[in-house]
Each structure stands twice: as C-alpha cells, then as structure tokens.
Structure 1
Amino acid sequence: MSESGGPDVTQELRLPWDDDPEDLYEHAPCGYLTTLPDGTIVRVNETFLTWTGYARTDLIGHKRFRDLLTPGDQIFHETHYAPLLTMQGEVHEIALDVVRADRSRVPTLVNAVLESGPNGTPRIIRTMIFNATERRRYERELLGSRRAAESSEQRVRVLQQIVADLAAAPTEAEVAEAVIRAPEPAFQAASSSIFLVDPERDELVAVSSTDPTTGNWDDMPRSSTRAVAEVARRGDLHVIATVAEAEEHFPDLAESMRRSERKTVVLLPLTTGPAEEHGAVAVLGVLAFSFREERVLTDGELRVIRLLGQQAGQALDRARLYDEGRRREDRSSFLARTTRALDEQHRLLQRARRLVERVVPEIADWALVRLQVGPAGLVEYHGGPAPDPELLDARVAEAVETCAPVYAGDGDGLDCTVLPLTVRGRVIGTLALRMAPDRRGAGADRLFLVDLADRAALALENARLYEQERAIARTLQRSLLAADVPGADSRFALETHYQAAAQDLEVGGDWYDAFLITANKLAVVVGDVVGRGIDAATTMGQLRSAIRALATAENGPARLLEGLDRFCERVESARMATVVYAEIDLLSGELAYATAGHLPLLLHEPAGPPQYLMQARSAPLGSRAGDRRRVEDRIRLTGGSRLLLYTDGLIERRGRGLDRGFEILAREFSRLRDAPLKGLTAGLADILVGRDHGDDVCMLCLSLGTEERLERSIGADPVQISRLRADMRGWMAGHGIDPDCLNAVLLASSEAVANAIEHGYRDDPFGMVDVSATISADAVEVRVSDHGAWRGPGADLARGRGLQLIYESMDEVSFDQGEGTTVTMRRHRGAR
C-alpha cells in the first residue's frame, strides 16, 4: 500500500483470473515465431499452428520461415524482407501470404525484430504474425468498389463525350459513326455494328461494322426472324450472354458468334419518343456490340447502355430531320439549276443531251432519254453499265402506255426507274435513270423525280415547238428571197448566201436580189429592213418588187433610190431601210452603184488588194433628216473582178469596232480570191460568223467574166453528167474556145466522169467525182478524179468503156491510180 492508503501502482497488479504467461504466448490472438538468423524455426505458438494446420514437430528445426511463404513471397523475402530486417533490425506490417499445410493460403501482416548478442552478432529473430484474411477481404471489397466507381466514372465521361459528339453530328451518317465508336471505350467491347430502320422500305439497313468477320450484318426486312430485326420490333435491350443461349433463340446470331469467336453480344435498340400509333418508343435503329469473353453486365452498365440507346435515337431523329431538309434543299437547287441549263439550249437534241448531262452523275449513275417526237429513236446513254435492253424496253412501253412512272424494284428485277415525259396528257418521251446509291429517302425521291420529269417534259416540248416554228420561219424567209436570179452566163456568175439568226424564230428583213434589166445590163441589190417578223418580211417583198419595177435602162441607181424614197411615203414600214444597189453593163464592164445607209460594196479586181467603194453614199430610205439627195458613182471593172454585197450581220460584233470588222472581211475575201466562186459566200459566213450568231447574214457575190478555173464536185449519178456538161460548155464559151476544141473536151470529160461513176463507185452511190479545168493560151486541161476502188472488167484501164473516145478526142491523156483514179487530159486550142 502507498502512504496514502491506496494501492501501490508501482507493483505489478495480479488478478486471480490472470492466465499463465506461457498460456498467453501459446494462445495469443496472433502467431509468434522465434527463428535463428538463417530463418530456422526454433519456437512457435499454438495460434500459428492452428491457423496453418501444421504440427509443432513439422516446423521446429525443420522449416525456415521463408519455406512457409508462397513462391512470390519467398523471392520478396529474399530481395526485400531479409535485407531490410538486417539493416534496420526490425520490420513492420509486411504483407506476406503463408501457405497452410493443406496448401491453401493465409494472408498475413508480419512484424519482426532481430536481436543481437553482446558483440553485435545476430542471435535470434522474433516474429509476430497477424491473420489479415478479413482485412484483405475488406481491401478487396474497397478496391472493387473503387474500380467500379472509376469504371462508372469512365463510362459517364465516355457517355458525355458521345453525347457531345452526337450533338455536333448534323447528319445521319455522322450520328451513326459516333454511335458505333461508343461501345469500345465505354464497355471495352471488341466490335460494333449499326443498323438503321428504313420505314419506307420497311427494312433494316446495315450501315457500318467495325468487325469485318461479321459477314451476316447485311440488310434485312423488318419482319425477319433474325435477332436484330426482333430487337427492332420489340424495342427492348437484348443481352445474349453465351453461344448456347444464342443457339436457343437466334441461330443466325449463334453462327456469327462462332465465326467471329465472340462470347457475349448486346443488341441495343436506338429509340426516340413514343410512337403515336402504339404509345411505345419508336425504334430508329439497332446497335450490336460484342465481347471476346463471356461478360456479365452490371445494373449500372445496363443503365448506361439504355441511356446510350435513348441519346443515340434522339440524335438520329434530329439528324434525319436535318438530312431531309438538306435533301429537299439540294433537290430544289438541282431542279432550278437544271431548268436554267435546259433553257440555255434551244434545240431538241441539245436539250435532251443537256438533261442527261445534268442527271449524270449528280443524281444518277446512268440515264437514257427517248423521244416519241422529233428525231425517231433518240437515245442518249451516260454512265454504265446499261440495263438489260429487253427489260428496259418493256418498262418503257409500260410507262408510255400507263402514262405513269415505273420505279426501280417494282417486280421485274430491273434497278431502273422510267419516267414518262408528259405534256398536256400526251407522252412525248421517257426518261430512264438508275439512281446513285442512296439508302434513304425513296418516297421523297419519287416526288422529286416526278417534278424533274414534269420540268424536263415542258423544256423538251418547248424545244420541239421552237424547232417547228423555227423551221416554218426559215421556210417563209427563204420563200421571200429571190429565187429567180440569173443562171449560168459566160459574162458573169452569181453566188448568194442567206443565214438566219441562230436563236431567232421570226423572219428577218435581210434580202438580196439579182435580175437582168436588159439583155446586157445586170442589176444586183442587197437590203435590210428595220425590224423583224411578218411586217419586216412583207416590207422586204414590197421593196424588192418596187426595185424591179423602178429598174430601167434609163433610170440608173440614184433615180431608183429617189423612187424608193417616194415609195416609203406610202409604205411607212419601209422607212429607214438600207439598200446597196448596183448595175453592171455586161458589154463595157461599167459599174454604176448607189448606197442608201448600207455598208459599202467590197470590190476585188484581178490585180491589187480588195477595196471598199465608199462613194455614192446617202441616208437610209425615207429618211427625213440630213441631205436627201441621192448620188451614184461609176467605175469600170476588168474581167475576173469580184464584187461582194452583204448585210451588217456579217461583220458587226459586240465589243469590236466596225473598222476591225471591215479589216477582217477584206482580208478573208482577199485570201479566197482564187477560190472557186461556188461556196465562196458560205465559206465567208463560216469564217466570220460561224453557226452560233445573233443576227441574219445575207450576201451576194458577183464575178464579172467567167471563172479562170472551173472546179466542180458531182455525185456518182449519171444524171449529173449533163449538168456538168452544160456548165463546162458555158465556161469554155466565155473564154472563147473554138467549137471543135470545145466539143472534143466535153466528149472526153463526159466519158471520163462516166467511167469514174461506173467503175470507181459501182457499189457506192454516195461517191463524189471531182472535175477541174484550166485554160491557157494554147490548150485546155481537164482533170477528173475519184476516190473509189475500181473492180470488175472495167478495172483494167486499157479496156475501160469510152477510153478510146478519150484518146481520140484529146492530145494528151495520163492516168494516176493511188487512192482512187485521176485522169488528166489536155487538148490544144484550134482545129486539128
């Protein structure tokens, strides 16, 4: 007792129920081991033996502490535990797994102290071992919860990113691409495939797959018994955990799982708000993803998967609205562009071609236009390959008969739509096309195609009417032009040309005329009436008649224009018309001319450059302003001179001065100085105007005296020989060839041409024979050429029909056979 009477705490308290210290050691709540420095166990308590199932005799003196550890922990003991204990003298809470006698494991925490002798030499190691089974279980549960939380957080992040990607994806294709990328980072899926519902075709369309081995992911009807179609109909999430489960319910899916070595498959419907008719969700597609091992999905994962399906469905619904709006905008823009493009062409064939060029490849990869009007059997192909002709003909016939479109896939296996081109209830043709690959919007496309056909039909019908009216206008125009110009004459030759404006349906006011005032005086005139249409054509005819009435041997050009001014006082529509009028004395070669507001005549004599006759100019007919006097000028022409009368359409161009037009015309007229007169005016028009022009062109070219060189091309028809003979007769007579020489040349030339037709073009009625003739001071030379292949008995030139006549008529005869046959004949002037 202490001095205060209380218990003495400095003395050890001993309670009557205290255990023996040895018993406390043996039955302590932890295991005790005492080992030598090399780890040999020398003492062990009962608690450790109970945990491990060993007998005391199994351990003491027979086992080292490291022998009781797992292989991995033995290595750890060797590399970390023992060195640390030696350096520090103690270790605390080292986690080691002890192997029981039955080979099971006990997770433990080990504390150890190394005791040394007086000289510092290690003597024994005292080890305290705590059973960590419950702690390890708690740690595992804690770690599992942490991992689940981290996995859930990762899935949420992935889902947030997917939602962001879906919000940024405007089109259905981009939404599908974002959805198919989701399962791999969110759920560690091995592969994904996505199907979209096409309500118009009532089928599921396989859009994309990340696994090329899933070969059965293809389009299917929504009524199919396959797993994807079943999920689309029900709108429920399906998890097929094993191949055996798939074999029981979906054999097609089991086969795919075996082929791709997948163990678990998830089929997720992509849904949006409730469907109006069923009060349930509307399924817009199905996302299928799989795992390489059998996978049991947690409730949290299933919730995230369903949320993904809802988010993806809403994004798809929005994207489809966007796609539909953009599709309608694109189709409207296409129709507007196509209508403008067709309006740029005025001819039926051109519009048909332009229609096909617009359709392919923008909306179709193949197209064909057939017209029931205009050129029969018009067919325009673009793209390829073309459909089966028989099936296509049958479908075209059906569209024409029913006057209704026949769409692709309507029962006959032909992937081609045929649209009747209908105007006012009459089918004028058909448009057949194969739409470019597009899996959606078939109903909208049908409305678009009907609109396209209506516009195309109207454009083609307008082109047909345009051509019809244009042909009528051209016929009327040519009927109003002079058709009775003087024919062949040894003293002069005439060549005329009229070319109407390319896009104008109305007749114009340009005209020409040529007539003999007397036997030895020729009048030529070219004029242009203001305006277009029937009034201008009527005025043109009246002016031409007036000129013929006023042209007399006594009047002359100036007095004739004065008479036309008086005519304009009675015919108001003739006022301001322009005229260039000339009279040629065929005996003296004198030219008298006058110009009323018209472009000047262009004269090219045999020697020297061409020149414009700028004198004798006055105002247009009926002009009330300026000097009203009419003047004329006279000039003597030499034989071989050429005189060109023309209208402003030949040289006037926007953006180019008139002087430049005069310069070009003079240059080209000079370049063609030695060309045959026949075709000269048409050649000038081709060079200076072309075919696409906006104004009428009218020309008259007069050659004074006969041609220096005669050149003619005739068809392989014996009827043409008489016409050639008459032409040659007048030409040689104009050059003063004596009758004997003239008749001999005509006979030989006729026989040579007949031989060329008979033997060179026996089987070719479209062959051409070229004849050229020149006259020199002492001889006439004629060359007859063909491009045929001489065959049969007449192929031997020595026996050719009429060959003897040629030799007897001509002084020199030679033959050249290359690409065809050329006969050159020469006859000296004068009697033999």
Structure 2
Amino acid sequence: MDDTAIDYTEVFQSLPGMVALLTPDLVYVDANREFLHMAGRTREQVVGRHLGDVFPDNPHNEGASGMRNLASSLKRVAATGERDAMALQRYDVENPERPGEWDERYWSPVNAPVFGPDGTVVLLVHRIEEVTELIRARGGPTGSRARVLEAELYTRARELQEVNERLRQAHAREREVALALQEAMLPAHRLGGRHHAAVRYRPAVGALNVCGDWYDIVDLVGGHRMGVAVGDVVGHGLEAAGVMGQLRSALSAACRVASGPGEALNVLGRYANVVDGAESATAVATFIDFDQHMISYSSAGHPPPVLVHPDGRVQFLDQATDPPLDARPDPFPRPQAFTPYTEGATLVLYTDGLIERRGEDIDTGLERLADSLGRHRAEDPESLADAVLLELLPPGGATDDTALVIVRL
C-alpha cells in the first residue's frame, strides 16, 4: 500500500488518545473523535474557536492554572519549533450539560510543531493522555491519599513552572548578550566614492537561535583592491558568537597578507583546526580588483557568491569550491578562480539562512535568489538588500541567521 491509498483524515480521527490541531494563534482547526468524546464537546464547540474560549480555567478555583500552563507551552512550541512535554496537569473542565459545574480532571499533555514548506511553524499538535481514573484509583476522589497526591502534583507543577521561567529568562539574557557580541564584532560598510556596500544581518527567530554568521569588508594593500567575506559557524548562543569572532578576525588578518582568497582560506582552515567549536564552519572570500575589473574567489563549504551583470545575467561563482574549514588537518592549497566584471555589476555574498528551507532542495533557494537579484538589479545596494530579504525570508523570520553583503562594482 502506498501513501496515496491511505486516508490520513481517518487515521487522524482513529488515533488512540486525545489529539487536536491548533494554529500558532491557539485556534482549534481539528480534533479527533477521542478528544471530543473525552472533553465532552461537539466538533462545532471546538473547531474554529480559541483555546481559552473552549477550555477556560475554573473561575471558582484561584489556584487553577492548567489552561494558562497549556497556552504557555503551545506558544513556546510555536516560537521555538521544539516539542514540549508538559508536567502532569489538573484541568477543571466545565460540564457542558450542567453549566457552572466543574469536573476535576488530570491530563498528561505533549505539544509538537508542524512545519510548513518554508520552515515556519504552521500548526501545533496537542496530544493528551487522560489519567484522571489512575489518580483516583490511588486513593479515591475524596480520600486522604488523593488530597496528598493532588497537593504534591500542584507543588511539582509550580516548581517546574518556576524552573522553566528561570531557564527562559536565562536563555533570553544569553540571546541578548550573544546578539550584542555578534553585532559589536560585525563591521559597518565603509566604502566611499563610486563603490558602495550594503550589509544586513538578521538573527534567527526563537530564544536560543543566535548563531555564528558573520561578514567582513577589508581594504587590501597594492592597488585599488578590496576583500569581502562571509562565514557561518555551526552552533548557537554565546559559544557560536565567540567562535565567529575568532574566525572573522583571523580571516581579516589573513586577507591583508595573502596573495589571494584561496591562500587566505587555507590559513584560516589551519587556524580553525585548533579552535574549539569551529567544527564544520564554512566561509567564502572574494578579492575585488577595481583597476583590473577582476574578482578572485574561493569557497570553503559555503554557498557560492553571486555576480549580477548590468544586462541582468546572474552568475554563481562556483568554480573554486572546497570542503569546510576544518575538513583537512594538514595544510593543503585551496582552489581559487577568477572572473571579470563590467562597471555597474553587483557582487552578492550571503549565508545559508537566506536560501535554505526545511524540506526544500537548496537549488530551489538559489533559483529564488537569482530571480530576486535579477529583477531588482537596477536598485541601489541598500534598496536591493531590503528587497531580497523581504522576498526570500519567511514573514515570521528564518530558523537560521542570515548575513548579506551587496557591493556595487
């Protein structure tokens, strides 16, 4: 039997346990039969309505927080794209046949994201295991053991909430520090005269997704020349930002003394082998000779730069590709290639957050980038950078950092 012969709607309805689908705004879009049966609700009372409207917390119990806890968990899953298994919760559910009467219920919820083609969270899967009868069997609904167990559950739930809140605050502080460190180490564009560069950096969405993307623009000795580079460190948070700073500084120094971008990346690769956290880091370096109208370039596992010609032709600079920086423990010359350009062309360097999407071939992202650059090529670099980011990044932000450098030649 292949996928086309499977009725996934019926599979969803027949799933054991209570399962519902919600939007990131916490509106129910579907619920299986078991969910509706155990919740004592009809499909019309659930689908299309907000979580808090369908299942409000018990107004007669000041300590009732099950629904608030659930809403916080679902919002966290929508923001981070990560699965969340909640602690055991008590939800008092209003009896639909006797308004004003609330039934004491115990649930074990798990919430998970569903991603769309662009990598953003489009739905939330909310699965519940009903454990009310198990709790009651351990002492009866009014027995002393049940009251002790209930008190323990509330205590543990409050402790977990406090721990989660402290972790959230710590992660938020780490993100702020990492972003500040990252932005402090990324240079502003410094070109003047006829040549202008636009630079952009967009951090990933989510509390922990500060990554190690970087860019650099350096003046080179010997003639009217300039070096432009971008790179990407695998990892998140302060560690990735720190490694990014080390590699960016090392490449900046190497470019100033190297005979070409291949030699500069070769030096950087040897350095990356002794830097903790630089595993699988990538970079691409370009040297622009404005007098000769020539670009030399070399890539260490990084997506290729793009040269947009004044006539609209889009050329990917992919003739000097090599593995990531730390791929070779021993020195080995990295390749470099040359390509001429005419005045008015545009050179574009970027990191993979601009083109990669979950479940999508990278060639699709490269085609999308080429199309956007071709259509907006006549715009000044600042406007071109804004247009590319607007068209290529998801509306809610990407799940990976994005660095972009655009130089008008």
Matching residue's letter, 2:352: D
How far apart are residue 494 of structure 1 and its match? 0.5
| Of 202, 205, 208, the match for 1:505 | 208
- Check conservation: 2:313, 2:374, Cα contact below 8 A: yes
How far apart are residue 563 of structure 1 and its match? 1.5
Matching residue's letter, 1:499: R
- Check conservation: 1:497, 1:681, Cα contact below 8 A: yes
| Of 475, 478, 495, the match for 2:183 | 478
Matching residue's letter, 1:538: G
How far apart are residue 556 of structure 1 and its match? 0.8
**Between the two proteins, what is the percent identity of the paired residues?**
33
- Check conservation: 1:602, 1:645, Cα contact below 8 A: yes
Matching residue's letter, 1:509: G
Using the alignment, how far apart are the partners of 1:343 and 1:536 within structure 2?
Answer: 23
Using the alignment, how far apart are the partners of 1:566 and 1:482 within structure 2?
Answer: 24
- Check conservation: 2:178, 2:241, Cα contact below 8 A: no
| Of 338, 354, 366, the match for 1:662 | 366
- Please state if 1:534 is matched with 2:221: no
Q: Partner of 2:196 in structure 1?
A: 493
How far apart are residue 578 of structure 1 and its match? 0.9
| Of 289, 296, 301, the match for 1:592 | 296
Q: Partner of 1:546 in structure 2?
A: 250
Which structure has more RCO (C-alpha within 8 Å, separation ≥ 6)? 2
- Please state if 1:688 is matched with 2:392: yes
Distance 1:688 1:581, change over 3 A: same
Distance 1:509 1:538, change over 3 A: same
Q: Larger radius of gyration, structure 1 or 2? A: 1
- Please state if 1:698 is matched with 2:389: no
List alignment gaps of at least 5 residues for structure 1.
1-324, 348-361, 363-446, 705-832
The aligned runs of 1:602-621 (5 Å cut-off) are 602-621=306-325
Using the alignment, how far apart are the partners of 2:220 and 2:348 within structure 1?
Answer: 20
The DSSP-based 3-state class of the residue aligned with 2:296 is: strand
The DSSP-based 3-state class of the residue aligned with 1:580 is: strand
How far apart are residue 546 of structure 1 and its match? 1.6
TM-score normalised per structure 2: 0.59
Q: Deviations over 1:546-571 (max 9, x none)?
A: 22222246611111122223223433
| Of 318, 338, 342, the match for 2:71 | 338
Distance 1:553 1:340, change over 3 A: closer
| Of 268, 272, 277, the match for 1:573 | 277
The DSSP-based 3-state class of the residue aligned with 2:335 is: coil
- Check conservation: 2:218, 2:228, Cα contact below 8 A: yes
Q: Deviations over 1:440-488 (max 9, x none)?
A: xxxxxxx9xx99xx79x968887666544433332122112124x423x
Distance 1:654 1:521, change over 3 A: same
The DSSP-based 3-state class of the residue aligned with 2:277 is: helix
Distance 1:626 1:522, change over 3 A: same
Q: Deviations over 1:586-632 (max 9, x none)?
A: 11211111111110011101013212111011111121399954111
- Please state if 1:650 is matched with 2:383: no
Matching residue's letter, 1:633: A
The DSSP-based 3-state class of the residue aligned with 2:382 is: coil
The DSSP-based 3-state class of the residue aligned with 1:678 is: helix
How far apart are residue 335 of structure 1 and its match? 4.8
- Check conservation: 2:270, 2:329, Cα contact below 8 A: no
Using the alignment, how far apart are the partners of 1:496 and 1:604 within structure 2?
Answer: 17
Matching residue's letter, 1:505: L
- Please state if 1:641 is matched with 2:348: no
The DSSP-based 3-state class of the residue aligned with 1:635 is: strand
The DSSP-based 3-state class of the residue aligned with 1:563 is: helix
Matching residue's letter, 1:497: R
- Check conservation: 2:204, 2:399, Cα contact below 8 A: yes
Matching residue's letter, 1:568: A
Q: Partner of 2:54 in structure 1?
A: none
Distance 1:474 1:663, change over 3 A: same
Q: Deviations over 1:295-346 (max 9, x none)?
A: xxxxxxxxxxxxxxxxxxxxxxxxxxxxxx9x99xx6763553343343465
Q: Deviations over 1:322-372 (max 9, x none)?
A: xxx9x99xx67635533433434659xxxxxxxxxxxxxx9xxxxxxxxxx
- Check conservation: 1:526, 1:579, Cα contact below 8 A: yes
Q: Deviations over 1:648-690 (max 9, x none)?
A: 1111111211111111111111111112211432332222113
How far apart are residue 693 of structure 1 and its match? 2.0
How far apart are residue 575 of structure 1 and its match? 4.1
The aligned runs of 1:375-454 (5 Å cut-off) are none
The aligned runs of 1:707-718 (5 Å cut-off) are none
Number of residue-to-residue matches in the alignment? 276
Using the alignment, how far apart are the partners of 1:598 and 1:539 within structure 2?
Answer: 17
Q: Partner of 2:112 in structure 1?
A: none
The DSSP-based 3-state class of the residue aligned with 2:324 is: coil
Using the alignment, how far apart are the partners of 2:178 and 2:277 within structure 1?
Answer: 20
How far apart are residue 524 of structure 1 and its match? 0.2
Q: Deviations over 1:395-442 (max 9, x none)?
A: xxxxxxxxxxxxxxxxxxxxxxxxxxxxxxxxxxxxxxxxxxxxxxxx
- Check conservation: 1:619, 1:628, Cα contact below 8 A: no
Matching residue's letter, 2:300: A
- Check conservation: 2:178, 2:238, Cα contact below 8 A: no
Q: Partner of 1:291 in structure 2?
A: none
Distance 1:698 1:658, change over 3 A: same
The DSSP-based 3-state class of the residue aligned with 2:234 is: coil
